[in-house]
Structure 1
Amino acid sequence: MNRFTALALPLALLPVVAHAHVTVSPSESTPGKTETYTFNVPTEGKSPTTAVELEVPPEMTIVSVNGPASGYTLTKSADRIVGIIWSVNIPPGGRQQLALVAKNPTEPSFGVQWKVHQRFADGTSADWVDPPPARPAPRTRILPK
């Protein structure tokens, strides 16, 4: 093995890390708790973010939604909120926090998956939904009390 290969091999084995992505806080909570969840949404590209669409995980119950002055739209199935679309204007290099209050499932869960679709002014989108090659969806672990 030559010197270059010996140096490059460990670097090739390192996982690829995204520089920024949609995250949710808190990333851990407890069963049955009513919790405020905050989504941190960056605009990484050259086009402003104009909308953020959240698919509400089936195990979560939305209690209330906080939104920017530009507003939001709710999608319901029967009496359950199943989707939220926030209208935003997040400039390139900027970020915005969007919040909601939800009741956690009553049972522990390794990872409640919050699927997020980020829409841009140029008509493109970024889908934070898993599995690869999609971007990673934000997750909340529901840990035993």
Structure 2
Amino acid sequence: MLRFNTLMTLSAALLLSFAAAHATVRTETGLTESKAGVSETYRLNVPTEKEIPTTAVRLVVPAGVTITRFQVLPGFTRSVVKNADGLITEVTWRGRVAPQEYARFFFQARNPAQPGEVAWKVYQTYADGSVVAWDDTNPEQTPASKTTVK
């Protein structure tokens, strides 16, 4: 029985570590909620979960969110896609995040004027060309990060 309990505890710890290890967007202070219509500094945290480096991170900007500026991250280049109104709809950072490392990308944005949930879709590209879509395509394994706007 002790062996079974130990195995279950180890299995639970492994699952918890997997569930916690993915691309997340939080406020600068680590919160998953913010106020409607305010400017907020966000951090996108991206760990490399494979034995090969991450080479690009693409963030699709949720509807109603207006990105206004970025913090410089040495070793990375940044490109943006804008819509006809000049608003940023996507941002891609290119660089190298080695195995067992993570990168943190800071940006400032104005929240939607109306309360609700904002889903951040992140696409992580590895050196072999594979892409992990943190976009709720498979919510159990690759969930999108969410912010509650109140």
Structure 2 equivalent of residue 80 of structure 1: 87
Counterpart contact for 1:68–1:86, Cα < 8 Å: no
Structure 1 equivalent of residue 23 of structure 2: 22
Q: 1:99 aligns with which of 99, 103, 106?
A: 106
Q: Deviations over 1:66-89 (max 9, x none)?
A: 242322000011111100000121
Q: Deviations over 1:40-98 (max 9, x none)?
A: 11001011000000000011011112242322000011111100000121000100100
Q: 1:116 aligns with which of 103, 112, 122?
A: 122
Inter-partner Cα distance in structure 1 for 2:137 and 2:125:
19
Q: 1:35 aligns with which of 40, 59, 74?
A: 40
Residue 123 of structure 1 and its aligned partner are, at CA, apart by 1.0
Gaps of 5+ in 1: none
Counterpart contact for 1:55–1:84, Cα < 8 Å: yes
Counterpart contact for 1:67–1:86, Cα < 8 Å: no
Inter-partner Cα distance in structure 2 for 1:45 and 1:19:
15
TM-score normalised to structure 1 length: 0.83
Inter-partner Cα distance in structure 2 for 1:95 and 1:32:
30
What is the letter of the counterpart of residue 90 of structure 1? V
Please identify, of 84-93 and 133-142, the stretch whose mean Cα deviation from structure 2 is larger: 133-142
Instruction: From the two aligned structures, give the one with the greater helix fraction.
Output: 2
What is the letter of the counterpart of residue 34 of structure 2? S
RMSD: 2.4
Q: Deviations over 1:79-126 (max 9, x none)?
A: 1110000012100010010011100011111x2001000001111111
Moved over 6 A (4+): none
1:128 maps to 2:134: yes
Inter-partner Cα distance in structure 2 for 1:114 and 1:66:
18
Using the aligned pairs only, state the percent identity.
37
1:58 maps to 2:49: no
Q: State the secondary structure of the residue aligned to 1:39.
A: strand
